[in-house]
Structure 1
Amino acid sequence: MADDLTLQRGGETLALQKTETRFTARPQQPEVISTVVQGVAAQCLHQVPVGSRTEAVLLEFEVSDPTELTAAMDQTRDRPDVAFVSHVYALVDNPGSLVYLADDLTVQFADSVSNEARRSLTQALGLGDETVLVGLDNAFIYRVTREATENPIKIANRLIERDDILAAEPNIVVHSSPSYRPSDRYYPQQWYLNHSGGPGLAQGSHIFAEAAWDITRGDRSIVVAIADDAIDLNHPDFQGIGKIVAPRDFRNTNDFLPLPVRDTDNHGTACAGVCLAEETGEGIVGIAHGCALMPLATTGYLDDRSIDELFDWAIDRGASVISCSWGASAVYFRLSMRQQAALSRAARVGRHGKGCVVVFAAGNANRPTRGEINEQGWTKNILSGNTKWLSGFAAHPEVIAVSACTSLNQKAAYSNWGQDISVCAPSNNAPPGIWLQETGYVSTAPVINKALAGKG
């Protein structure tokens, strides 16, 4: 297989295939994005952020005829206002997900490699801007410069063949997928906190919040970071002295107001409310309503830089808990070295050295967090035959992975399952599904077309 059609990822080699009509280009600076869009002989589909939106953006282009792809890429690569051009890829064993190639690379060297030898090797390959990867010994992050003669995938694959290189990974970007969005506008009856029975309520299906509140209702010194699509900072349930701490918008304007901008930006507000809504006598009350909220709007895409920035922001600004109700928009997603290190950093050195509590949703496809399923009956046959599943974030050994149960004390129909689950928490009983970039939201086979028992 060609060097640029295999990808090193978390110690595993994954097979790629190039898309026939799509490619990406990274402008030299954000200020020239519109000029590049107008000057490239292909349709610009959208912008893909790499890390913070203002730092680096990939423009995804599409040609109408596959025979035009090479010429369009060459023409774009020759532009002085373009820093990097790449094919768009798909993972062979992970249908429905597109992979975008960024222009940075992570390399871990053997202990025997001297500083001089390391610099000599990386300079010869056209790698620059060396940055130490904190949390992994002898590991560094490099930018693939215009002087590089090969793309990051080929460079990584050549490096990994050397005895003095322990690992080499290009930074790839995939779309993120939110967890289930509740359909109710308010939660007037919060059965999941405490209940004494009734229709649709099994004994013990709540979390005994009242007993917990006898011990503590939370404290402003405990900061919970909610990383999601957006958080409505103007909501009445998030008001109060010291309630909001270190907000950050990584997605829209890269400023400090992670507010909703689209009608669909409601998931983060709901997650923050379930956890932290103030006790005001109105609206709902969160389980830890006395704690402070660190609201973080994510980019909506997952790459090494964006995960580094997200978790380092929370670590550096005193988060005690980092809650992530999302995962990759992919059937099989293995974390990169940098992503694994970012989560380990939070779990080990966050909270002023005591370690953060890092929580991830298990996923909503009614599939294992890791395992293999013989898939049949999917819409458009998007999955078929023996298919490997992996939720990389939920499977990280220092993450608390949370699955879902119902008001009837049963597994929620949509919830993922497996050996990585630490906690099963109350939710509704929605049908399972997954968001894939190629199809949008698609129901998990076999499709459930009937109402399911259990309260919302």
Structure 2
Amino acid sequence: MARGSGTDRYHEVFGDCAFMRTVLATLLVLFLSLTAAAQQRFAYRDGDASLTASSRLVSLAFASPADLEAALEGVSGLEGVETMLPLRRRAILRVVEGGLSEVLQSLQARSGLTDVHPVWLVNGRDVADARYLLTDELIVAFQAGVQVEEQQAILRSRGLASQGPVPGIEGAYLVTVRQGLDAWDAARALDRLEDVRFAHANWLRRLPLRDTIPNDPLFANQWHLKNTGQGGGVPNADIRAVQAWDLALGAGTTIAVIDTGVDSSHPDLVVAPQGFDPLLGAGPGMGDDVGSHGTSCAGVAAAIGDNATLVTGVAPQAQVLPIRLIQGAGFGTASEESACFTWASDQGADVITNSWGPDGIPFPLPPLVEQAFLYCLQNGRGGRGAPIFWAAGNGNEDMAPDAYVSSPYTIAVGAQTNQNLRASYSDFGAALDFLAPSSGGTRSINTLLPNGGWTLLFGGTSASSPCAAGVAALMISAAPNLTWTQVRDILRATAAKIQSSVAAYDATGHSLTYGYGRVNADAAVQAAMATLPQALHLQMYTTGVGDIVIGITHMGPLHEFLMAFSQQIYAPMGTGPLFGVGLDAFITLSRPPGTIPFHHWADANGEFFWGAMGLPAGLTVQATAVEITGTYAWEVSNVVQVTF
């Protein structure tokens, strides 16, 4: 039997070749469009902003910094942590080119991590303000007339858990998706329902504040606070002071300036009424400037901001404590130096800055002065310690022979220019902590002079030390319980790694010439605030089938707590015959109708987790937790509402 031709057989199976090409092309276009759609989204409603999945950035949530560190160990394809959001316990990671898929799969399988997703970029732009981070939350608002039972049924059928109503918005709820689900996809599915008014992912995105620009007439010259490229500088080669001022201004802090004294009558400084001179003692005027160096240092650290006068300091609401150690020919003794430090500590100095010492010769540290350093660190600020900042030196030499600046009890600050480079004169070495702005580029530092004056020509590491000290004052004003070592360690950890190609940062992040990088006031203040005690927090989850998981965090270790569930969802906690929460019947521990008191103790980490099954489906309750913190003292958590 003769076989048919290949062409006939092809037509028999596939039909007309032109038709098949059309079908295949259509399928290819459909596949590509679906693939592109998976990589593109809108933000809240169709057409508002085009979001594209980054191929290099991953966002995630972590239970604790230790969990994050452990989870990232051994993950191939990671370049490092791009951004930390310590208050939210989230991080943005940068991955190598082409490594996104592998990194996502690896991180999603690690314990201690949640919400592992690509970062989404507005119009594909990889800049901080264009980054959208997908969380496990969405917002849904139901149409008027949809009953609560119907609302909860819609959520339960999709495996979603309500965290309670959105205050002030009728029919709107904050909703959590189960681990592994995509909140954007879930919100989009809800948004298509007739019973839903709107639904959208609860994106985490940066909300940039309009820059806090003080009205001081010379602020435009102060590139170290806001570098716009003025005078031939590199834009953004500054300490991000403007951003930090949205969080702290240094109010309530005192910066001791041990130098030639400070002009106590300068209109652009708040100077403590008592000054000190180790030869003459303490009193009004005893710390007045006998030169100009000390006033210039004080201006860098703490010139008054937004007073329409001259310049602004890094900590524009801090007070200056004037100490006149150096005068005349500049001679001094160890006992005089020691007296300056102990007096500063006793007077309540929060930060101490020093911009003195020789270049080119060894500068041994007398044991008496070293003990004075320890006095400040052990007794200052109620035992938390007053950090001591020191100008690294201007000899372009190893600072090791200078026992003051290389002491483990001081913080060594080198100089960075307005062109984002280490100043050529700045000393270097293993003891260098970080750089702060000063002269050496095309601009110096604009600061104050005595008799109400000012200068554009202050520089050297003399300017760098009070600059960093001002950042420390911002940190302490935001988080007063910081210890001096926390201040130092946070400044190191948050410093910007500038000039990586030449700095040769080691595995610990340190460079012999750049230290840990350039001081970053914004990041340092945020990290300082993350050390503050966190509020008692209650979470409740249910899949809607009669089960419940309760989590309470941020209690004291082994602290006793109470919890109440109320079925009276139309009377918010604290306003009806509920369990009281200290607002109604808490003191008598009464048990009003409709409530179920719950009494237990936190674990050694200040946490409590509990789960149960068999609860009646359809029951909607509110709950709150009350931590017993002392005799007749308690703290109340947030209120959570769920439907089983």
Q: What's the TM-score bracket when you normalise by the shorter of the two chains?
A: 0.3 to 0.5
Structure number with larger C-alpha Rg:
2
TM-score, normalised with respect to structure 1: 0.46
Higher helix share: 2
TM-score, normalised with respect to structure 2: 0.33
| Higher RCO (C-alpha 8 Å, min separation 6) | 1
Higher strand share: 1
